Structure 1
Amino acid sequence: MTHRLVALSVASLALLAPLIAPAQGLRPSAPVAGSGVVAPVGLPAAGGLAADYIVAVVNSEPITNNEVRAATQRLAQQLTQQGRPPVDASALAREVLERLINEKAQLQQARESGIDADSAAIDQAEQNIAQQNQMTVPELRRRLVQQGTAPGQFRNQLRDQIVLTRLREREVESRVRVSDLEVDQYLREKQSSNDPATQQINLAQIVVSVPDTATPVQVAALQARAQRALTRALAGEDFAALVREFSDASDSASLAAGGELGLRTGDRYPPLFLQATQNLAVGAISALVRSGAGFHILKVLEKKRGDLPAMTVTQSRARHILLRASPQLSEGAARDKLNEFKKTILAGKANFAELAREQSQDGSAAQGGDLGWANPGMFVPEFEAVMNALEPGQISEPLVSRFGVHLIELMERRQASLSPQEQRESVRAQLREKKLDETYARWAQDVRGRAYVELREPPQ
C-alpha cells in the first residue's frame, strides 16, 4: 500500500534524506555476526574516483560497495541533521549492508510470489512524498537531482518499498492476532504494577515548615499546628482554603492553586509522598508526613497510569468508495475511475453518498459509504494516514490498501471519552503493534537465513 511509506528501509531513508521526516524507518531486524567485511567502505581510488566492487551476493544478485557507501553517507547525514551523536562509519556501513541484504532477499521472495507495483501506484507514492514535504512532484525531482539522485532511481526505490510493504502485509500482518486473554493479562499486570514511572499522580499539599534551628518545643508547636489543619481537612473543610490558612509554601502560585503540585509521574515525587499516598483513593487525605522541610498533609487529586490508553481520543467519521482490483478492473483503472468520481463530486454533478451506494464494493455501500465514528487504530494504517490528513468536507486522492482502491471523504471529527470496551480495543492495538515488531523480526531473520549470502572481502 502506497501510503505506508513509513516502512522505508535504511537504504531508502538514505536515498530520501533529508527530504523525509526522521521518524520514518524500517522495523529493526537483528544484525548478523560476520557482516563486517564492508570495511573499509568508500575508499577513493586514484584520481579521486571511488573504486567499486561487489561486497555481497544474495542468491546470485550483487550488492556493490558504492551502494553501501552512498546509503551510509546519506544516512549519516540524516542522523547529523537529527542532532544525534556521530556514529562510527564502519559500524554504520556494516548495519546498512545487513539491511540491504535483508531487503534484497525479501524482494526476491516477493518476485517469486508474484507481488509487484504498477506505475500508477508508484506515481501515487511519489505524489505522497512530495505532499509530505510541501512541494510539487517536479520540485521533489529537482531536489533529488541536486542531491545526486536521478528520478528513475528514486522511482525504483519507491517500487521496491511498495513491493516490500505488500509482501510484509501478506507474510507478517496476517499472522498477528491478540486474544481477549492477552488483553486481560496486560490490564491486570499494569493495574497491579507499583512502578512509579508508570503512574501519574496529582497531589495537593499543606506544608508547615520547620526551621533547621527549631527547638523541640518549637517543633512540637508546629506539629500541633499541622495536626489542626489535618483534623479540619479530614472533617471535610475545603482543602484549598486550608492551604491558604496554614501552608508555609514559598511558592505563591502553589498557594493560589490550592497547593496543587501538578500531574506528574510517581518517580518525580519524593519517596515519602509516594509511600504516604500509594494506598489512598482519589480525594483521600494522608496522615502527617514528616520530612526535612517540615510537616506535610497530602490530598490525592488524581491518579492514572501513563501506560494505559488515554480516556479521551479524537474520533473521525468518514465515508468511502471502495473498488476492488480484478481481471476486469486493474488497480490503475480503479484509480482512474475514482478520480473521475472525485471530479464529478467537486463539480456538484454527483453526490458522494449516492455514488457510494451505486459503486462501492463493500458492506458500507448501503449506508452511502458511511463508516461511522472510528477511534484511532480502527482502520488499516494506510487508510488512516490519509483520513487523518483530511479536513472535514475534504476528499482524498485515490489510495491503495490491501482491500482495494479507496476514495475517502472526511465528514466530521470530535473528542470522545473511551468506554471500557474501547479502552480494551486500544490496549489490543498496542499489543498488536508490539507483536508485529516481534513477528517481523523473526520473519526477516527467517528470510535472511534461507537466502544464500556470500560476503566478499575488498579487492587488494
Structure 2
Amino acid sequence: MTPRASALVLACAAATLALPASAQLRVSPQIAPGPRVDSGPRSADYIVAVVNSEPITNNEVRTRVLRFEQQLTQQGSALPSRNDLARLVLERLISEKAQLQLAQENGIHIDDSQVDQAEAAVARQYDMDVPQLRRQLAAEGVSLASFRQDLRNQITLTRLRQREVESRVRVSEADIDQYIREQQGATDAAATELNIGHILVAVPENAGEQQVRELQAKAQRVQERARAGEDFAGLARQFSDVPGAAASGGQMGMRGADRYPPLFVDAVRSLPVGGVANVVRSGAGFHVLKVLEKHQGGLPGVEVTQSHARHILLRTGPQLTEVQARDKLMDFKRRIDAGRADFGQLARENSQDASALRNGDLGWSNPGNFVPEFEDAMNALAPGQVSDPVVSRFGVHLIQLVERRQAKLSEREQRDVIRNMVREKKLDEAYAQWAQEVRGKAYVEFRDPPT
C-alpha cells in the first residue's frame, strides 16, 4: 500500500470517536473509507450487544478499533489499551444505534442525492473525483455499499442532532463577556490557539532501516527549505503524504492547542509565528511543522479570511421535493457555467429568501457565519466558481463565491466570532446531555465481550 493510499483509508465518518459534539454536528468532507479488517487470523463473528433488539457484532467493534488506532498513530497520539478502546467503541456504537433508531421513529429519511453530495465532498477532500474515489475504495477492499451506508448514517445522525440539540442552545451577551474574562485570564495550553502547517513524510509499515534513514533525510531537506523561506503550501502540495494537502496547503486550521496532538504542540511550543520546528517522528512517519498563526488567551485573531458569496435557495416541502430542488439547481448551474444564464438574475427570480432582492448577494461573511454544510461547500470554491447543489436544514442552495479577502475585525465582529465559539462549546455540552438521555432510554443487553 502506498503512503497516500494508506493515509486515505485511515478515517471513516462513523469512527469519529473523540470529536466534540460541535464537530459531530456536521457531515464533514474529511470523511474517508475505513481499512479492511484483515490483520491477523479471522474468527467467526458473534453478537456482543443488542440495542432495542438490533445487534452489534464483534466485527463492527473490531473495524472501528482498527480505524481509530490508525488515526491516533498518524497524529502521533498515544494509543490506549486495546481493551479500553474496545469498550469505548462499543459504547459509541450503542449510542449511535439508539440515535439511528430514534431518527427512524421521527421519520428522518436521507435520500440518495444527499449521499451523493457527501460522497462528492469526500472525493474533493482527497483531490479526487467520485470515480477515482470509488476505484480507491475497491483497491482497498472497501465495499461501496457499506461506505455509502456509513455516509447515510452520519447524515441521519447530523439531522437528528440538529433537530434535537440546536434548539437547546442560546448565547447571551453575558455569556460572551464571561468567556472573554475567562480566556484573558487563562494561561494553560487550551487557551492558546494555533494554526500549524503540517507536512507528513510517511514511513511504510515494516520499512527497513535504510528506507527510514532516506525518508528522514527527505523530511529534513523539506524542513530546511521551509526554514529558508520557501512557500510552505507549495512544499506541502509537493511532498506531504497527508490526504487533502494539495487543497489545504498543509494548513491544519486554527484551533485550541489542546485539540492538536501533544507531539505537535511540544514541537512548536517555543516557536514564534513563522517558525519551523525540528523534524519529529511518530508512528506514521516524519513531520515538518510550521507555526502559521498563534493567538493567546483563546480569543479570535483580529484578522480573518472573509468570503463574499451569493446563493439561490429553494425551500423543500410538499410542493417541491429535495430531489426536484437539486435537479432544478443543477440545471441552473449548467446554464451558468455555459454562459447561457446569469447567476444574479436566476437568484432574483427563484431564490426563496430575502437575498433574492439583492440578486442572491449574502455580503461579506466571517468564518462560522453560515451552517457547516454551506460553509464547507463555499470554502471549497475558487472566486467565480459555482457549487453543486448543497443541502442544509434551510433547503437546497446553489452557491457562487464572488471573492475573498483578509480583513481586520471590528470589536462587534470579534464578539460575533466569540459568539460562535461559545455556541460550539454549549453545543458540546447540550449534545453530551442529549446523547446520555437517548442512551439511557434504550434497552441494551450485553452478550460476549468484544475481542
**TM-score normalised over the length of structure 2:** 0.68
2:330 to 323, 326, 339: 339
Larger radius of gyration: 1
Report the AA paired with residue 433 of structure 2: R
Deviations 1:9-29 (A, max 9, x none): xxxxx9973266999666458
Number of aligned pairs? 332
1:78 to 67, 71, 76: 71
- Cα deviation, residue 371, structure 1: 0.3
Are 2:353 and 1:362 equivalent residues in the alignment?
Answer: yes
| Contact map agreement 1:318 1:408 (CA 8 A) in 2 | yes
| Contact map agreement 1:15 1:71 (CA 8 A) in 2 | no
Aligned partner of 1:397 in structure 2 is 388
Indicate how the Cα distance of structure 1 residues 374 and 92 shifts in structure 2: closer, same or farther if over 3 A, else same: same
| Contact map agreement 1:309 1:426 (CA 8 A) in 2 | yes
Rounded to whole Å, the distance in 1 between the matches of 2:84 and 2:371 is 36
Mapping 1:243-258, distance limit 5 Å: none
| Contact map agreement 2:314 2:395 (CA 8 A) in 1 | yes
| Contact map agreement 1:126 1:155 (CA 8 A) in 2 | yes
Are 2:92 and 1:99 equivalent residues in the alignment?
Answer: yes
- Cα deviation, residue 403, structure 1: 0.3
Rounded to whole Å, the distance in 1 between the matches of 2:151 and 2:177 is 40
Aligned partner of 2:61 in structure 1 is 68
Deviations 1:255-277 (A, max 9, x none): xxxxxxxxxxxx979xxxxxxxx
Aligned partner of 2:117 in structure 1 is 124
| Contact map agreement 2:51 2:97 (CA 8 A) in 1 | yes
Aligned partner of 1:90 in structure 2 is 83
Rounded to whole Å, the distance in 1 between the matches of 2:355 and 2:39 is 60
Rounded to whole Å, the distance in 2 between the matches of 1:44 and 1:367 is 58
Rounded to whole Å, the distance in 2 between the matches of 1:194 and 1:393 is 42
Rounded to whole Å, the distance in 2 between the matches of 1:136 and 1:365 is 32
Aligned partner of 2:10 in structure 1 is 18
Indicate how the Cα distance of structure 1 residues 155 and 331 shifts in structure 2: closer, same or farther if over 3 A, else same: same
Deviations 1:357-411 (A, max 9, x none): 0000011000000001111111111111111111111111111011000000001
Q: Name stretches of at least 5 consecutive residues in structure 1 with no aligned partner.
A: 1-13, 30-41, 201-266, 270-303
Aligned partner of 1:408 in structure 2 is 399
Aligned partner of 1:174 in structure 2 is 167
Rounded to whole Å, the distance in 2 between the matches of 1:165 and 1:63 is 21
Are 2:375 and 1:384 equivalent residues in the alignment?
Answer: yes
Rounded to whole Å, the distance in 1 between the matches of 2:11 and 2:270 is 38
Rounded to whole Å, the distance in 1 between the matches of 2:427 and 2:174 is 18
Report the AA paired with residue 386 of structure 1: A
SS at match of 1:172: helix
Rounded to whole Å, the distance in 2 between the matches of 1:305 and 1:79 is 26
- Cα deviation, residue 146, structure 1: 3.0
**TM-score normalised over the length of structure 1:** 0.67
Deviations 1:247-294 (A, max 9, x none): xxxxxxxxxxxxxxxxxxxx979xxxxxxxxxxxxxxxxxxxxxxxxx
- Cα deviation, residue 137, structure 1: 1.8
Report the AA paired with residue 362 of structure 2: L
Identity, in percent, stands at 60
Report the AA paired with residue 176 of structure 2: V
| Contact map agreement 2:100 2:156 (CA 8 A) in 1 | yes
Moved more, 147-156 or 97-106: 147-156
| Contact map agreement 1:386 1:396 (CA 8 A) in 2 | yes
Aligned partner of 1:111 in structure 2 is 104
Superposed CA RMSD: 3.1
Indicate how the Cα distance of structure 1 residues 415 and 21 shifts in structure 2: closer, same or farther if over 3 A, else same: farther
Aligned partner of 1:281 in structure 2 is none
Aligned partner of 2:422 in structure 1 is 431
Rounded to whole Å, the distance in 1 between the matches of 2:55 and 2:188 is 52
Rounded to whole Å, the distance in 1 between the matches of 2:432 and 2:426 is 10
Deviations 1:178-208 (A, max 9, x none): 00111122233444x27487599xxxxxxxx
SS at match of 1:316: strand
Aligned partner of 2:32 in structure 1 is none
| Contact map agreement 1:27 1:441 (CA 8 A) in 2 | no
- Cα deviation, residue 155, structure 1: 1.0
- Cα deviation, residue 147, structure 1: 2.8
2:301 to 307, 310, 323: 310
SS at match of 1:412: strand
Rounded to whole Å, the distance in 1 between the matches of 2:186 and 2:70 is 42
| Contact map agreement 1:17 1:75 (CA 8 A) in 2 | no
Deviations 1:134-170 (A, max 9, x none): 1222222222233332111111111111100000111
Report the AA paired with residue 432 of structure 1: R
2:154 to 149, 158, 161: 161
- Cα deviation, residue 130, structure 1: 1.3
2:434 to 431, 443, 452: 443
Q: Name stretches of at least 5 consecutive residues in structure 2 with no aligned partner.
A: 1-5, 22-36, 194-268, 272-294
Indicate how the Cα distance of structure 1 residues 387 and 86 shifts in structure 2: closer, same or farther if over 3 A, else same: same
Aligned partner of 2:51 in structure 1 is 58
Rounded to whole Å, the distance in 2 between the matches of 1:111 and 1:23 is 21
Rounded to whole Å, the distance in 1 between the matches of 2:126 and 2:118 is 13
Aligned partner of 1:215 in structure 2 is none
SS at match of 1:343: helix
Indicate how the Cα distance of structure 1 residues 338 and 51 shifts in structure 2: closer, same or farther if over 3 A, else same: same
SS at match of 1:62: strand
- Cα deviation, residue 116, structure 1: 1.1
Report the AA paired with residue 358 of structure 1: E
1:419 to 410, 413, 434: 410
Report the AA paired with residue 18 of structure 1: L
Mapping 1:140-151, distance limit 5 Å: 140-151=133-144
| Contact map agreement 2:12 2:67 (CA 8 A) in 1 | no
Mapping 1:197-208, distance limit 5 Å: none
